[in-house]
Amino acid sequence: MKKLFIIPALALAVAFASCGGESKKATTSENTAPTEETAPVETVPGIENEAISNTISLEGNDQMKFSKDLFRVKAGEPVELNFKNAGEMPKEAMGHNVVILTPGTDLATFGGEAAGAAADEYIPKSSASSIIAHTKLLGPGETDKISFTLEKGVYSFICSFPGHFGIMQGKIVAE
């Protein structure tokens, strides 16, 4: 007589276990909702307020400042950058350029290398692999125009004249 009671009890236990297993599986699949397998992207505050444009204009001035420090461009298509030194001070004292650097370039290291490259207008040959594009070093009133194409990413740009990159720096987001 005992057996009759044990068998239904076992069946119930098995049914309960499998039921529990199923509900656990359902929870797991909910938690692993499709996520995009992309590399972590650097977030740039304020970028959502910038319109995408591949023609960009920038000025440097006697206050050692760029007129803008954030640009948003379309990746994979040429970007035209128009740069002007809007100051009046002599080039030897307040020259400006724009150097676009590869993602991950350490600005302090690059700036140090650049400061030692006076003969090359502060474009250091030793860090050439970190440079995507650069303008000429401009004196007062001078302009230069360069073109380059960026893959998706966040790029720093600086003025490499000695002592300027700490303030004269910004970012270009290519998306």
Select the span of 10-18, 81-89, 101-109, 163-171 touching Cu ion (CB under 5 A).
Answer: 163-171
Q: Is 134 in the site for Cu ion (CB under 5 A)?
A: no
Q: Which is nearer to Cu ion, 72 or 96 (CB)?
A: 96
Interface with Cu ion in residues 96-125 (CB under 5 A): 96
Contact 99, 151 (CB under 8 A): no
Contact indicator for 96, 164 with CB cutoff of 8 Å: yes
Region of 15-23, 95-103, 123-131, 149-157 interacting with Cu ion (CB under 5 A): 95-103
3-state secondary structure of 21: helix
Q: Give, as one character, the DSSP assignment of residue 64.
A: S
Q: What's the min distance (Å) between Cβ of 36 and Cu ion?
A: 39
Q: How far is the CB of 64 from Cu ion (least distance, A)?
A: 6
- Specify the DSSP element, H or E, that contains 56: strand 55-60
Whole-number Å distance between alpha carbons of 67 and 70: 10
Residue 84 as a binder of Cu ion (CB under 5 A): the answer is no
158 near Cu ion, rule: CB under 5 A: no
Q: Does 164 bind Cu ion (CB under 5 A)?
A: yes
Contact of 97 with 128, CB cutoff 8 Å: no
Residue 57 forms beta bridges with which residues?
Answer: 82
Q: Which residue is nearest to Cu ion (CB)?
A: 159
Stretch that binds Cu ion, among 11-19, 33-41, 92-100, 120-128 (CB under 5 A): 92-100
Coil, helix or strand at residue 147: strand
- Residues of this chain that interact with Cu ion (CB under 5 A) are 96, 159, 161, 164, 168
